[in-house]
């Protein structure tokens, strides 16, 4: 049976949202059944309904989570995600922010691990323009689906 995946993204200028569409296509090519949600419309409680969790989140400030993801990350404190598989991606800027490049990806991986989820693919980090990375985003999604 197809694995049920929830892809939750937080995006201020639409870059993560655009990447999400391509990650979702890759997941679907890998035979996963995918629900894509903006974090503003997602609740921590619904993560329990899926086999796997994919987060997409850009980095803002100096190494902070995208604004809409802050409350969601906090709400995950103490929830149990044992048995769930997970992976995280996000865009950033390695030239402007070399010391905090895509740290949102690292923060969310840490949160997921703390909840007991298993990270099944290395975080996918994109620097600068996201359009050239659409193909890689799809491949990454496919790889994640194959690891479920
Ligand atoms: C004020 C500001 C702060 C930023 N801080 C970081 C940062 O600390 N690390 C990083 O990798 N990228 C940083 N970025 C780059 C954004 O993460 C990047 O533009 C990303 O594509 C935005 O994605 P979104 O449109 O999905 O929010 C910053 C951009 C701005 C404008």
Exposure string for 46-84, b = 16+ CB within 10 A, e = fewer? ebeebbbbbbbbbbbeebebbebbeebbeebeeeebeeb
- Spell out which residues line ligand 1, taking CB within 6 angstroms: 11-16, 58-63, 66, 91-93, 97, 100-102
How far away, in angstroms, is 92 Cα from ligand 1 center? 5
Kindly report, residue by residue over 91-125, the tens digit of the pLDDT: 999 999 999 999 999 999 999 999 999 999 999 99
CA angle 122, 116, 39 (to 5 degrees): 70
Residue-range domains of the chain with CATH: 4-146 (3.40.50.360)
Instruction: Please give the DSSP secondary-structure letter assigned to residue 95.
Output: T
pTM for this one? 0.98
Distances (CA, A) of 74 to 97, 128, 130: 24, 28, 27
How far away, in angstroms, is 60 Cα from ligand 1 center? 5
């Amino acid at each position: 049976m197809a694995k049920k995946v929830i892809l939750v993204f937080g995006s201020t200028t639409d870059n993560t949202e655009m990447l999400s569409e391509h990650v979702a296509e890759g997941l679907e090519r890998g035979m996963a059944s995918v629900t894509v949600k903006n974090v503003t419309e997602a609740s921590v409680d619904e993560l329990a309904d899926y086999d796997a969790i994919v987060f997409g989140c850009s980095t803002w400030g100096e190494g902070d989570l995208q604004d809409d993801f802050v409350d969601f990350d906090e709400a995950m404190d103490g929830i149990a995600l044992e048995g769930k598989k997970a992976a995280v991606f996000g865009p950033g800027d390695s030239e402007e922010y070399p010391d905090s490049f895509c740290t949102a990806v690292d923060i969310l991986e840490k949160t997921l691990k703390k909840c007991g989820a298993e990270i099944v693919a290395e975080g996918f980090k994109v620097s600068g323009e996201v359009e050239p990375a659409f193909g890689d985003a799809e491949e990454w999604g496919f790889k994640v689906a194959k690891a479920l």
